[in-house]
Chain A
Amino acid sequence: GNSVTQMEGPVTLSEEAFLTINCTYTATGYPSLFWYVQYPGEGLQLLLKATKADDKGSNKGFEATYRKETTSFHLEKGSVQVSDSAVYFCAYYQGAQKLVFGQGTRLTINP
């Protein structure tokens, strides 16, 4: 069935390190893809999105490129900060207004 598979966490990095969180999906066609972020004690908020193949979404120094060949949407950031500590969710649009979320990857950045 349709699903999203994310890199298992937790992920712990030092400040200014390079970040990659892997995400692959199984779905019919080429759905819109999203990364959401959940800061401690808060709800999820959209970080970035890509609506078609080869699109690159970017926001707050984060980037993800829609790769249809590998059905992937990996999240990257060149230099992470302590304030990036959060849980990151990959998701795709299933249709009928529904999003399918991955399990989430907890990221901790140490100073």
Chain B
Amino acid sequence: DAGVIQSPRHEVTEMGQEVTLRCKPISGHDYLFWYRQTMMRGLELLIYFNNNVPIDDSGMPEDRFSAKMPNASFSTLKIQPSEPRDSAVYFCASSSGPNDYEQYFGPGTRLTVT
């Protein structure tokens, strides 16, 4: 079975550019999560969706970040404009919920903003 798929795996961009990260959750999973991982702050939950609807976006750092889930099999995390401090590994995860708390993580996208 395919796990959570993320693309691209690596992204290098210049400050001020728009960055779009993509995620395909495991088929049948109703919950999708976006995390950011940095050395300084560890693993942070940015936003999560249930049945394509954003439930909690309190972790989104600022208005430059936005996330969408247009259908059950696709989600994007967009940063516009990007800044060097956005450099991190971004993970997407999904879970079947509501009584299964295990989250299945994708391989992550390593973003470098120069």
Contacts and interface: CB of A to CB of B under 8 A. Distances in A.
Contact of A43 (B55, B56, B101, B107): B107
Contacts, number: 48
A43 B106 contact: yes
Interface in A19-62: 32, 34, 41-46, 49
A98 B48 contact: yes
B13 interface: no
A32 to B, nearest CB: 6
B53 interface: no
A43 B93 contact: yes
Interface in B89-114: 91, 93, 95, 97-98, 101-108
B43 interface: yes
A97 interface: yes
B31 to A, nearest CB: 5
Given A32-B101, A97-B31, A99-B101, A43 B43 contact: no
15 contacts: A42-B107, A43-B106, A43-B107, A44-B43, A44-B91, A44-B105, A49-B102, A97-B31, A97-B50, A97-B55, A97-B95, A97-B97, A99-B45, A99-B103, A103-B42
Interface of A: 32, 34, 41-46, 49, 89, 93, 96-99, 101-104
